[in-house]
Structure 1
């Protein structure tokens, strides 16, 4: 007998615009494989690029914020599980869902640790190293409280798993490592695929939606600090920047004389990345895994990224012809130029990308473990929650404060 899962989305998924949208479709598939019938609900407005979830056998439902109609609907549906898309959604709907379906498993998908991204942004602006003073923020308190309130939280990066357990002492049994995944069939076809060769490709590229602040910062950094140095050594090379939700401040970076092209939304991310010879990802702050680098590896396109960009993809290693991370502009430029001009080096990086996907992100490495973990917690939910007193405490406090504030807003909206 199939079980019922409710996913409450922060936004409607846009897999052609964001890595988060692609990950959401992966999660939906994993739950469907675990014998769940999936309903996706959101209070957000849909865009022209929102995916049609009914094509994936998912029921769609528009819901309201601060409205008891949600409580009535959830209780009638009697969901067996809920997954909150980011901690803000759990804050908004968690108390309502738990009150209506108290015996259902509560799952949180962080996407990435928002407080880590914010801490790195603040540290960068102040030219500081990230320390506990940056990490121990009010946002961290909110996000980690949400983790404790849920029965299990999906963490996308090994680094973030370690940070939560070592820095914040979050119990391991509340966390589940689940990164971006590549289908086994795709992995088997990677080397056999007729990708464009080194000589059939040209120019540098990067991609990422511009609503995401780290992407804009990376492109600005690329334009002002890195690209002029690359262009000086390779005068005919061009930098192609792709991304959805381009703003005027992004558009003004376009400069054809400098070979710096703002190309806007990519109709097919894989195609534009495969056309380029090298992907650049000079990301200075952020968290989670970078979808652009997975697109690069899946299309056989070598990349150069900063430590933040490559975090969680593979351990930092010495320069040996494999994927590496570089932070100083001069180092990024040196490696980018070498990779662009040296076919032997380029092929080594390409092969390293294939091996990374196969050894670290193959769906087969995670699927059964994930399904077993969710089923195990569901079957022993009462005992699991008894081991998490802090979560019960935070639920009680959140219930008392959030519930009455939300009810007050609902009453005001109806006046």
Structure 2
């Protein structure tokens, strides 16, 4: 039986530009595998790098914020499931979906916890230890309200699951742990990857519209790279990322071997050429797509503790986790030069991909949760009084603000 799903995107997915874009493509592939007819709608302008969803059989619809045309559209579509891409879309469209399609299962894809990222960034700016005062910020309040109003929320990291349950006291029944869903790496594909002696230089990658990534590259350039370059004077640092602006490109320095390469058309190609991936993120949230890319392509990593969060579980890392600048640089140099150690860390990465991010395993679990929740949707909502309360109060204010803006724009 064909079912309808509507995904309301904060942006149009750009899988070559960001981990969020890749995550969205994984979700679309999952729903298509479950015989859903997928419609993707967004109020955001589309860039040239946006994936052509129609090429994979997905309807693309542009929708307006604060406009009743969305009500007509969603009622006509009558989706079985609606996915809100980040809490901002649930705030904007959640009340409209609830009014027009009350029986639709409402799912929030958090991508990562925005409130957590904002709180960590504030603590970093202050030079302070991260605390509850940073965590319980206004963005977090909006985000947690959105989670409580939704029937299910997709959480990409076990660390964030723990924070939601133990710090924010969110009912576990509302949360679904759904990390990256990746294809299993076969021995055949692994043996095709370039070996230690065929690789050279260091790589860093990340979308520069994302503030943690720019900060990471600045830290790499000013603090870490001089230590590495001093010990490995012939190596180069290759920095890739979409939307590199002038302040990013100014970091390029041929003499120092620090090269801003810009957008990577094929992340697999550039990752397989590199010997080591450096992930120098100092604040943020969620899972780092750059680490998954590195492990899939057999590239060991040196990373900060923030970068490593939620990736390894109880398994050995595909490199080293270091937060001190000199220790970070020394481990990078050691791993760059030690072939035996490099091969060991590479194998760890393959194991992590296959054991922690199995597409087949998580698709099966998610399908079961959707079926169970759909069958018990009335009782689930009845037992979620916090969600009812927030739907009544918070979304009523969003509703009437939206209606006021719509009337004002006429």
CA drift at 1:323: 3.2
8 Å Cα contact 2:300/2:318 also seen in 1: no
What corresponds to 2:297 in structure 1? 299
Counterparts of 1:62-77 in structure 2 under 5 Å? Answer: 62-77=62-77
Q: Given the two structures, how large is their TM-score scaled by the length of structure 2?
A: 0.98
What residue number does 1:264 align with?
262
1:298–1:354: 8 Å Cα contact kept in structure 2?
A: yes
Deviation at 1:376, TM superposition (A): 0.8
Q: Which residue of structure 1 aligns with residue 32 of structure 2?
A: 32
RMSD of aligned C-alpha atoms?
1.2
Q: CA deviation at 1:187?
A: 4.2
- Asked if 1:223 is matched to 2:218, the reply is no
Conserved in 2, the CA contact under 8 Å of 1:316 and 1:325? Answer: no
Structure 1's consecutive aligned runs of 4 or more residues displaced over 2 angstroms after TM superposition are 186-192, 320-324
Distance 1:222 1:338 in 2: 17
Specify the SS of the correspondent of 2:179: coil
What is the aligned partner in structure 1 of residue 401 from structure 2? 405
In structure 2, the residue matched to 1:149 is 149
Q: State whether residues 307 and 326 of structure 1, in contact with CA within 8 Å, keep that contact through their aligned partners in structure 2.
A: yes
Q: Report the Cα offset of residue 316 of structure 1.
A: 7.5
**Cα deviations by residue, 1:239-260 (Å, 9 ceiling, x for unpaired):** 0000110111101000111110
Which secondary structure state, in structure 1, belongs to the residue aligned with residue 60 of structure 2? strand
Structure 2 residues without counterparts, runs of 5 or longer: none
Moved more, 259-268 or 359-368: 359-368
User: Displacement of 1:324 after TM fit?
Assistant: 3.1
C-alpha deviation, 1:182, in angstroms: 1.2
1:15 aligns with 2:11: no
Once the two structures are TM-superposed, the CA of residue 413 in structure 1 deviates from its matched residue by 1.1
Q: Distance in 1 between matches of 2:22 and 2:186?
A: 17
Residue matched to 1:191:
190
CA shift digits 1:19-70 (9 cap, x unpaired) = 1111111001111122211100001111111001011211111110100000
Distance 1:365 1:372 in 2: 11
Measure the CA separation in 2 of the matches of 1:158 and 1:189.
Answer: 31
Matched, 1:212 2:210: yes
Give matches, 1:288-367, under 5 Å: 288-315=286-313, 322-367=318-363
SS state at 1:261 partner: strand
Paired with 1:5 and 1:164, the residues of 2 have a C-alpha distance of 27
The answer to whether the Cα contact below 8 Å between 2:295 and 2:318 also exists between their aligned partners in 1 is no
2:275 is matched with 277
TM-score (norm 1): 0.97
Aligned-pair CA distance for 1:402: 0.9
Match of 2:169 in 1: 169
Structure 2 contact 154–178 (Cα < 8 Å) conserved: yes
- The verdict on how the C-alpha distance between 1:211 and 1:14 changes in structure 2, with shifts beyond 3 A counting, is same
Contact 1:148 1:391 in 2 (8 A): yes
Residue 362 of structure 1 and its aligned partner are, at CA, apart by 1.0
The verdict on how the C-alpha distance between 1:187 and 1:214 changes in structure 2, with shifts beyond 3 A counting, is farther
Give the superposition deviation at 1:129: 1.4
